[in-house]
Amino acid sequence: MRAITTVPPGGGVKLSQVNIESKNGLKIKTYRTGICGTDKEIAAGRLAFVRPELGSSLILGHEAVGIVTESDENSGFKEGDIVVPMVRRPGKCRMCRLGRQDFCEDGDFVEAGIRGKNGFMRDEFVEDPRFLVKVNDPSILDIAVLTEPMKNVMKMKEIFQFMRMRIPWYCDDSTLSCKNLYVFGTGTEGLLISTVFKSLGINVVEVNRHPLGENVMDYLDSNKIDYLDTSSETLGRKVKDQPMDAAIDAVGAMDVLKEITDNIRNNGIAIMFGTSGQLPSSTYEVLENIVDRNVVVVGSVDGAKAHYAEAIRFMETQGKAMQMERIITGKYEPEDLKIFSEKEKLEIKKVIAWS
């Protein structure tokens, strides 16, 4: 079968013919795989923790949706079921044993397509049913590839709900309609964050350093999500009219933590998600703003099985109304390897069609 492989840590990608002996599990025909910043970084040889499962090459791909082609009765799945595989697989620590490998205590886990386990960019794979999540509504088949990035958002939402319970952090009418959340980053993850948090009834402002693409503007407009291009209006100016009650960073590449702590209100909630970046320019100022003003800054990576299921339910119930199909801006063949290195002008999420 065909598979997209890389030889870590050097990077580079190629479409290879691979012959992998199937272990026990269900056979899944791959339908779509998504490519994200992580895949591009791996392809560019910039992620130090990438490692193969066996030998020297790794099959890429951690965002996927597929169809069960061979099952067994006791697995809870049947032929034809639409499934999303989980990325991270447990190690031996207590959190991993409790099914919360997203909170792994010692780093002894593997991640499909990233570290220590072959991923899903291939025609088919065999999977342990414990790590499959079922999609019930076939009408979301094409957007279900967004489940994996969206499960990160569902975990952020859980953390956010937890953090806001510290104090009566709601409006006089007990909703969140007077609160403003600033989301940094207008890639897939940023847009999914905005989409999910908007559905909580909070005002969302998407922040970007450059003018936004037309398609992103349309998506935000139709979901009544506000936006700020900091090349034409500063964050400091914007928060005068719309105070920053909460912030989520999905960029990591710029000094976002500093921008957030400079502008967030007292009792603010900041969730940091982006990782590929530089350190804040002034650690002292940042810490002073956080500690002295009771701002919660929470790191968040990965999510639990329940978050995958929640992402799927969200798309099943609100995906159409929120026009989430617009997040997928290109469908490519496995041969089109240039998508790992090139960025289209209006690109949000690119997917590879395997069948």
Please pick, from the candidates 30, 33, 38, 180, the single residue that binds ligand BGC as defined by CB under 6 A: 38
For ligand BGC, give the closer residue by CB, 26 or 114.
114
Q: Total number of residues binding ligand BGC (CB under 6 A)?
A: 11
Residue 350 binding ligand BGC, by CB under 6 A: no
Residue 88 binding ligand BGC, by CB under 6 A: yes
The strand ranges marked E within the chain are 2-7, 11-17, 26-35, 58-59, 63-70, 82-85, 88-89, 110-112, 116-117, 124-127, 132-135, 180-184, 203-208, 226-229, 244-249, 264-272, 296-299, 328-332, 349-353
**Do the beta carbons of residue 94 and residue 47 sit within 8 Å?**
no
Q: 191: closest CA among 286, 319, 302, 70?
A: 319
Question: Which of 306-315 are b and which e, b meaning 16 or more Cβ less than 10 Å from the residue's Cβ?
Answer: ebbbbbbebb
For ligand BGC, give the closer residue by CB, 114 or 135.
114
Give the nearest distance from C-beta 265 to ligand BGC in angstroms. 29
Residue 36 binding ligand BGC, by CB under 6 A: yes
Give the nearest distance from C-beta 103 to Zn ion in angstroms. 8
Residue 91 binding Zn ion, by CB under 5 A: yes
The single-letter DSSP state of residue 45 is T
Residue 47 binding Zn ion, by CB under 5 A: no
Give the nearest distance from C-beta 310 to ligand BGC in angstroms. 15
181 binds, among Zn ion, ligand BGC, none (CB under 5 to 8 A by kind): none
Burial grade of 343 (CB within 10 A; 0-12, 13-18, 19 or more): exposed
Give the nearest distance from C-beta 105 to ligand BGC in angstroms. 15
Q: 215: closest CA among 34, 37, 345?
A: 345
Give the nearest distance from C-beta 267 to ligand BGC in angstroms. 29
Interior angle at CA 239, CA 172 and CA 201, nearest 5:
40
φ and ψ at 275, to 5 degrees?
-125, -20
Tokens of 349: 């999420």
Give the nearest distance from C-beta 25 to ligand BGC in angstroms. 20
Please pick, from the candidates 20, 93, 110, 217, the single residue that binds Zn ion as defined by CB under 5 A: 93
For ligand BGC, give the closer residue by CB, 176 or 348.
348
Binding segment (CB under 6 A) for ligand BGC, from list 147-155, 211-219, 228-236, 312-320: 147-155
The single-letter DSSP state of residue 304 is -
**Do the beta carbons of residue 132 and residue 76 sit within 8 Å?**
no
- How far is Cα 288 from Cα 285, in angstroms, rounded to an integer? 5
Which helix H or strand E contains 315, and what residues bound it?
Answer: helix 305-318
Please pick, from the candidates 3, 43, 58, 114, the single residue that binds ligand BGC as defined by CB under 6 A: 114
Quick check: bond before 9 cis, omega within 30? yes
Residues 199-238 that bind Zn ion (CB under 5 A): none
Binding segment (CB under 6 A) for ligand BGC, from list 70-78, 146-154, 164-172, 343-351: 146-154
Residue 192 binding Zn ion, by CB under 5 A: no
Residues 279-338 that bind Zn ion (CB under 5 A): none
Instruction: List, as one string, the DSSP characters of 171-195.
Output: -TTSSSTT-EEEEE--SHHHHHHHH
Binding segment (CB under 6 A) for ligand BGC, from list 148-156, 213-221, 286-294, 318-326: 148-156
Residue 310 binding ligand BGC, by CB under 6 A: no
Q: Which residue in this structure is represented by tokens 């702590």?
A: 261
Sites of contact with ligand BGC (CB under 6 A): 36, 38, 87-88, 111, 114, 148-149, 152, 301-302
Sites of contact with Zn ion (CB under 5 A): 36, 38, 63, 91, 93, 96, 104
